[in-house]
Structures are given as structure tokens and as C-alpha cells.
Amino acid sequence: MVVAFRPLPLVHSSSSRSSSALGLLFRSQHRSLAAAAAPRPSHGAHHLKSGSKRQPLPPGTDLVLRPPCPSKHVASASRVGGEPQSQAALIFVPGVNLPAEAYRPMLSEVQRAAAARSVSLHVGCLGIDWSAAPLRKPEELGPRVEALLQRLRATRGASLGASAPVFHGAHSLSTCFLQDFLQRSGGTAGQILLGGCLMRKYCYPIFSYARPTLTIGAELDGVEGLLRQAEQFQIQSGLETHRFPLVVLPGQTHMQFASGERPKHMGPELPPMVKDQVAHGRIAEVASEFMCSQLGLSLLPRDGAGAGVDGVQEEAGGKNKSLLLDKVNDTGSMLLPVLLSHAMALEQRMLLDDVALRGR
């Protein structure tokens, strides 16, 4: 099925209704912008220091995380139906000028969430020396991704099976490299974009992206702004939710997809409303749900719901419901003021264009 979309113009409308809706949405956030721009310690800096004396990896060194032991991190009774663990891999591309080590806390949370859903997740994060050998083209990912995948498969004592499905993820500007690479090469069980949307070239005039993709955004993102996320949400609302879900996490920032010091090229952000550990837990919950849905695995039962299959929960009333769908619906409610403002601006622009055409 071919789905066509009309671009959403980010225009300044003369409509007082449109401008007031946006003003009410962002006024309280803009009041804190000056304070956010002032130098302050990184919100995630403590995350790499607490609870571990591990030395940071040298620049350009890949990060490899073995799957957590199920007996340590989750009791077998809490896993879905006591199912045996399935194997999967996640290859992650760090944001520009960020080291692989910055993603250890978040990716470790993803592993633990996956283990709770009976998935033994092998994780590798590319170590890119951004000053000496930066990533310049999407095709440069090919040999690096393959080398890291082979390393996961050769890990002593916890090797990844040759037939295990492989997911891919990226953060910030690297989401552009990854989606281009996977669109051309394929070979992924699913793609996870953090702090970056599918590019417009894959959305207009028709949606043409072929790989299942989860997009996770942040409400207070200072790089991929809320207006851009709202535009992408409207595009993907006409697609299959289980293949192209988009979730915006409330109160979180662009840098909370990682940890440590903010790169100099990133602009200032509003302070986050949640702690890093909470933010990483939310990211992990959504990412692991998406991976399980792509693998056709049942998910953890929730209050008032029984475990289902294919990423779907069955509630007491007999209706099927998934946590991922809940998150998408919550995102729609959060973005509703922005979407309504866009709709009013588009309506005003069409009326003005119609008047101009009649006057000729």
C-alpha cells in the first residue's frame, strides 16, 4: 500500500489561535532557556562515576557488553511463562563526538529489560575516533558493523549464534548514517533511532522506507526539536504501528540517551525533569518491547492483563493491548497541541493561497 503525505509547513500564521496554542505550549519552557544555557555540570556525568571503578575506553575502542546472567538480574519466574531465553544482538552507532563508553549505562539497561523478556541480548557499540577517523559516509558503516558483529560471535564463554537476529541502533546525527546504510544493505531485524527521526526524503511525497524502525524522541530535546518530532509522528500515524512506532518520552533531553559530558557542538538544552537512571529505564522498556514485537515473542504481563503473543497483551475484558501501543498513544496526546497548531496554520495558508488565486 502506498501512503502519500502532504508536508507540514512550519509557517508563522496570522491566526491568533495558532500562535496562542504554540505560545501556551512552550512559554514555560522558554523562561528557563537562559538558565539552561549557563555552564553547568553534565546531567549524566555522575552516571559513569558511580558504582564502578571501570576506566573509560580509549577513543576509537568498541564497547562490547555480554548479556546479563538471568539469575542475577531477573528471577526466572518473572520472565514470560518461564520461556527459555532467545538470542539477539544490538549494534549501536554513537552520536557524533561521543565515545562508546557514554552509552554503557543506557545499553546495560536495555540488556536488563531484554533479559526480563526472555531475550539474551548481545550488545556492541562502535568506538569511533571522531577526531582522527570520523564517520563521513553511510557505506563506511559496513565494515565496522561487520567487524563488531564478528567480535560478538567470537566472545569467549557467551558467543552469539550465527543465526541470531541482529538489531541496529543509533543516536543523534548518526541516525542519518544508519538509516541510509540499512535502507541500502538490509540485513536488520529492526532499527532503533534515538534523538533522530526518519529523514524527510523517505517520507515525501510518499513513504518509502523499508526497514522496521522504532523512533524514540525526547520532549525537551534541544537537537531534534518537538516540532520536528510532531511532524514525523503525523507521518507515521498512517503506517503500521508495530513496524514504525514513534514514542516521545516526557521530561527527557537529547543528552539523556547517553551519559557523560556534552560534546561542544551540541547546543544548550533545558534541564531534564527526570534523572538519568529513570530516563535510561524508560528507553530500555520501549526498545525491548519493540525488539520482542519484531521477534514475535510474548511480553511481560501487566496489571490487569495476561501475557499474549506477537507483542500483544490480552486484557481482562478480552481486548488486545500492547505497552508499545500505549506509549504511542501517550505520545499522540502529548503532541496534540502542536498537531492542532500545525493543522490551523495549514488551513490558514490554504485560505490565503485560495484568496490570492481568485484575485489574479
* CA 84 to centroid of chain Cα atoms: 27
User: What structural domains does the chain harbor?
Assistant: 44-261+274-358 (3.40.50.1820)
Over the stretch 134-161, which tens digit does the pLDDT of each residue have? 999 999 999 999 999 999 998 766 678 8
Grid cell of 123 as nine digits: 550488545
**DSSP labels, 291-333:** HHHHHT------TTEE--STT-EEETTS-EE-HHHHHHHHHHH
Residue 348 has pLDDT above 80, yes or no: no
Instruction: Locate 124 and state its grid cell.
Output: 556492541
**Could you give the residue ranges of the DSSP H alpha helices within 55-103?**
70-73
Q: What's the pLDDT band for 25 if we cut at 50, 70, 90?
A: very low
Report d(CA 172, CA 340) in Å as an integer. Answer: 27
Handedness of CA 72, 73, 77, 81 (dihedral sign): negative
Which are the contacts of 305, defined by CB distance < 8 A and separation ≥ 6? 313, 314, 315, 316, 321
Spatial CA neighbour of 280 closest among 260, 303, 257, 299: 257
When mean pLDDT is compared over 56-60, 266-270, 299-303, 314-318, the highest value belongs to 266-270
Question: What's the pLDDT score for residue 286?
Answer: 98
Which residues contact residue 182 at a Cβ distance below 8 angstroms, ignoring those fewer than 6 apart? Answer: 168, 188, 191, 211
The mean pLDDT of 183-205, rounded to a whole number, is 97
Segment 36-55 shows an average pLDDT of: 47
Over residues 289-310, the pLDDT tens digits come to 999 999 998 655 554 444 443 4
* Chain mean pLDDT for the chain: 81
DSSP 208: -
Which residues share a beta bridge with 168?
91, 191
Range with lowest mean pLDDT among 42-46, 119-123, 281-285: 42-46
Interatomic CA distance for residues 86 and 36, integer angstroms: 43
Q: Would you state the pLDDT for residue 5?
A: 52
Q: How many helices (H) and strands (E) does the chain have?
A: 9, 10
Q: Give 346's pLDDT tier (boundaries 50, 70, 90).
A: confident
What's the confidence (pLDDT) of residue 41?
44
pLDDT value of residue 322: 82
Query: Position of cell 534541564?
Result: 271
**Beta-bridge partners for 249:** 218
Mean pLDDT of the region 88-92: 98
* Lowest-pLDDT range of 65-69, 91-95, 178-182, 192-196: 65-69
In contact, 202 and 175? CB cutoff 8 Å: no
Q: What is the spatial order of strands in the sheet that 313-315 belongs to? A: 305-306, 313-315, 320-321
